[in-house]
């Protein structure tokens, strides 16, 4: 496999997930990223059995970018606890149709996921099905074609969160085939997991990993 590896040690694996690949195997039987990485580790270290690789966070199937995996159960537990304690920093880049009124701001909503349609909707506070969602954003630049490049700082990690929160404000992500009506057939969604900052599960060192957005996404501005 053509693996874009950013960092590896005995405890964590940091890698760029390709766009269009699901993180974990589902009932469809389609090729998934975790299985590819397990095979990579098995071959690299000549492991007789299946390699352990813990998923501690996820990216939607169409979205690519930086992902951190745990190579041991202890690392997985500690990294998951960091996420629960909001100790990670996750930054995304998104190109949207339109622009927010303010250059810097915060979006807060209550989101409900419909598992049958695999879609997420904005609901109201007090809805027992809803989960609170919060993100901060910064407008990096605007194009002449009424598009904007946003840097997104996730405070919570709800399913489809960035996509829904932006689309609900009439700023859909370019080529989001689920939440935008103006899409180009076969084009990649203009959302990229740009950076992840964690505390190493063993050394306790704060580490930051980045991967620039692809050139074809840049060309959408």
149-174 average pLDDT score = 96
Mean pLDDT of the chain: 95
40 CB-near residues (< 8 Å, 6+ apart): 1, 3
pLDDT at residue number 30: 75
Cα dist from 146 to 98, 102, 143, 149, whole Å: 5, 15, 6, 10
- CB of 13 within 8 A of CB of 37? yes
% of the chain exceeding 90 in pLDDT? 89
Secondary structure letter of residue 164 according to DSSP: H
Quickly tell me which residue has 């904005």 as its tokens: 122
pLDDT at residue number 129: 95
Domains present along the chain, CATH in parentheses: 5-218 (3.30.2350.10)
The pLDDT tens digits for 187-204 are 999 999 999 999 999 999
Structure tokens of 50?
Answer: 């299946």
Q: How far apart are CA 154 and CA 134, in angstroms?
A: 7
Torsion of CA 121, 125, 127, 133, to 10 degrees: 50
100-122 average pLDDT score = 96
- Per-residue pLDDT band for 1 (boundaries 50, 70, 90) equals low
Pinpoint the alpha helices (H) of the chain: 33-44, 73-84, 161-167, 215-218
Q: How far apart are CA 174 and CA 98, in angstroms?
A: 10
- Per-residue pLDDT band for 2 (boundaries 50, 70, 90) equals confident
Torsion of CA 69, 110, 87, 73, to 10 degrees: -30
The overall pTM is greater than 0.85: yes
Q: How far apart are CA 162 and CA 118, in angstroms?
A: 15
72-86 average pLDDT score = 97
Nearest CA among 123, 83, 210, 171 for reference residue 163: 171
Quickly tell me which residue has 């996730």 as its tokens: 154
The pLDDT tens digits for 27-58 are 777 789 999 999 999 999 999 889 999 999 99
Q: What is the largest CA-CA distance in the chain?
A: 57
């Amino acid at each position: 496999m053509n693996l874009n590896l950013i960092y590896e040690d005995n405890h964590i694996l940091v890698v760029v997930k390709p766009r269009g690949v699901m993180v974990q195997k589902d009932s469809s039987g389609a090729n998934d990223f975790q299985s590819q990485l397990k095979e990579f580790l098995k071959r690299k270290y000549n492991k007789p059995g299946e390699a352990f690789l813990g998923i501690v966070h996820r990216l939607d199937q169409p979205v690519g970018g930086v992902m951190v995996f745990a190579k041991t159960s202890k690392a997985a537990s500690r990294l998951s606890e960091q996420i629960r304690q909001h100790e990670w920093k996750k930054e995304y880049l998104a190109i949207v149709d339109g622009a927010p009124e303010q250059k810097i701001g915060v979006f807060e909503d209550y989101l409900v996921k419909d598992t049958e349609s695999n879609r997420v909707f904005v609901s109201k506070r007090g809805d027992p099905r809803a989960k609170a969602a919060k993100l901060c954003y910064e407008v990096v630049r605007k194009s002449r074609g009424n598009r904007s490049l946003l840097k997104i700082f996730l405070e919570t990690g709800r399913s489809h969160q960035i996509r829904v929160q932006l689309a609900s404000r009439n700023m859909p992500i370019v080529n989001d085939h689920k939440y935008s009506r103006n899409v180009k057939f076969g084009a990649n969604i203009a959302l990229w997991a740009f950076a992840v900052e964690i505390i190493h599960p063993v050394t306790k060192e704060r580490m930051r990993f980045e991967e620039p957005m692809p050139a074809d996404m840049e060309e959408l501005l």
